[in-house]
Chain A
Amino acid sequence: MAIEVRVPTILRVYTGGEKSVNAEGDTLQAVITNLEVNYPGIGGRLLDDSGLRRFVNVYLNDEDVRFLDGLNTSVGDQDAITILPAVAGG
């Protein structure tokens, strides 16, 4: 089961420059754990002791996972995960 994960420029040092990588797992937590296996170091940029880092936004098919089930959000085949740093608008 492959889930597409889109990686922001700032984290591509961990993915060998790849914009988009495949990962496995049935929850967001499992996907991040799997990412860390293949791209060591990336997990620590996404998570801290309290969960998702404050300035990291993660979207499951364009919906912010903080308004779904956070790290426990279920993911499945065909799903796409997008990681973005929080930026200002206005």
Chain B
Amino acid sequence: MRFDSLLQSVGHTPLIGLPRLSPSSDVRLWAKLEDRNPTGSVKDRAALNMILQAEAQGLLRPGCTLLEPTSGNTGISLAMVAKQRGYNLICVMPENTSVERTQLLTMWGATIITSPAAGGSNEAVRVAKGLAAQNPDWVMLYQYGNEANAQAHYDSTGPELLSDLPEITHFVAGLGTTGTLMGVGRYFRDHKPEVQIVAAEPRYGEVVYGLRNIDEGFIPELYDASLLTSRFSVGPLDALKRTRQLLEIEGIFAGISTGAILHAALGIAKKADEAGQVANIAFIVCDGGWKYLSTGAYEGTLAEAETKIEGQLWA
């Protein structure tokens, strides 16, 4: 496949059957390899579209500064796009993210401001909103509330899935900004409404939920629960176990959040198989495992790996 520039190559990712993890020939799992994007994650789609839309709206001038709260992947994608388009980027990132994320952000020219581990991304959002108020000339694209994030998936991920797998019955993705699920969910509601949309939400260690008050919780502005069929919380042990299975059984080296998504997908596959239904379950491989090597996720026993990622924002 040939493209005129790197940015034009975003998306168009392969959909790979998983013959060994699928329970039967009637219930099949399909992995959409989003790690095959320019910076190696699904976030390239949202980052590119948010910047293009902001340009179209006249919000960005050459040399202007973007600000974004991010646990990593969105920041890395924005940094790559910003560099191509001539903008500066400041990321507010929780301190409990992997060292590779910091290295990659720096490599692509972003400046990093860390936010405290306690409270996880909630805290990064709070810090970024404060900085945005103090620096009115900075542009915060704000992935959690920017319709261009979900729209990227309505315009690209959804159509790619339906084109490659017209018989799709289920779509499973991670719930972070909710952009992937909202965009793909809305696309299927408009084009194949019987497709079930399933969210897999990472369940982190306790420090991440270390809010002072339960009313300080956070729900992305993009979130519309009516687009989801079900929503599962997946803990680190299940996520790690599935991440390793995906590698050992199907040869796909993915990050830990993908393990959480696969866990939910396998649960659905098992139910469909037991009910004698035909199912084609597509799920998102958010990124490759490279950025998580330093976490210890792929070494030693599962219990050892779980201890090592305790307190980390692993998805």
Q: How far is the CA of A45 from the CA of B179 in the complex (A)?
A: 29
How many B residues touch the partner, as a band?
35 or more
Q: How far is the CA of A85 from the CA of B229 in the complex (A)?
A: 21
> Closest chain A residue to B73 by CB distance?
A90
Cβ-based interface call for A36 (8 A):
no
Cβ-based interface call for A82 (8 A):
yes
Cβ-based interface call for B206 (8 A):
yes
Cβ-based interface call for B216 (8 A):
yes
Q: How far is the CA of A82 from the CA of B15 in the complex (A)?
A: 34
Cβ-based interface call for A88 (8 A):
yes
Cβ-based interface call for B56 (8 A):
no
> Closest chain A residue to B220 by CB distance?
A88
Which residue of B119, B122, B203, B230 is within 8 Å of A84 (Cβ)? B203
A63 & B120 in contact (Cβ 8 Å cutoff): no
Q: How far is the CA of A90 from the CA of B77 in the complex (A)?
A: 12
List the B side residues contacting A53 at CB < 8 Å: 214-215
Stretch at the interface among B20-28, B30-38, B155-163, B169-177: B169-177
Q: Mark A55-90, 1 if CB is under 8 A from B, else 0.
A: 111010011101100000000000000101111111
A63 & B125 in contact (Cβ 8 Å cutoff): no
Given contacts A8-B209, A85-B209, A88-B144, contact A64 B233 (CB under 8 A): yes
Which residue of A10, A85, A89 is within 8 Å of B315 (Cβ)? A89
Q: How far is the CA of A66 from the CA of B229 in the complex (A)?
A: 10
List the B side residues contacting A55 at CB < 8 Å: 214-219
List the B side residues contacting A9 at CB < 8 Å: 206, 209-210
Q: How far is the CA of A45 from the CA of B262 in the complex (A)?
A: 33
Q: How far is the CA of A33 from the CA of B72 in the complex (A)?
A: 41
Cβ-based interface call for B143 (8 A):
yes
List the A side residues contacting B225 at CB < 8 Å: 66-67
Given contacts A10-B209, A54-B217, A55-B217, contact A88 B120 (CB under 8 A): yes
Cβ-based interface call for B232 (8 A):
yes
> Closest chain B residue to A67 by CB distance?
B230
Cβ-based interface call for A21 (8 A):
no
List the B side residues contacting A2 at CB < 8 Å: none
Q: How far is the CA of A85 from the CA of B212 in the complex (A)?
A: 11
Which residue of A62, A82, A85 is within 8 Å of B214 (Cβ)? A85
Cβ-based interface call for B202 (8 A):
yes
Cβ-based interface call for A3 (8 A):
no
B233 & A87 in contact (Cβ 8 Å cutoff): no
Q: How far is the CA of A85 from the CA of B217 in the complex (A)?
A: 6
B residues whose Cβ falls under 8 Å from a Cβ of A: 69-71, 73-74, 119-122, 124-125, 143-144, 174-177, 179, 199, 201-204, 206, 208-220, 225, 228-235, 315
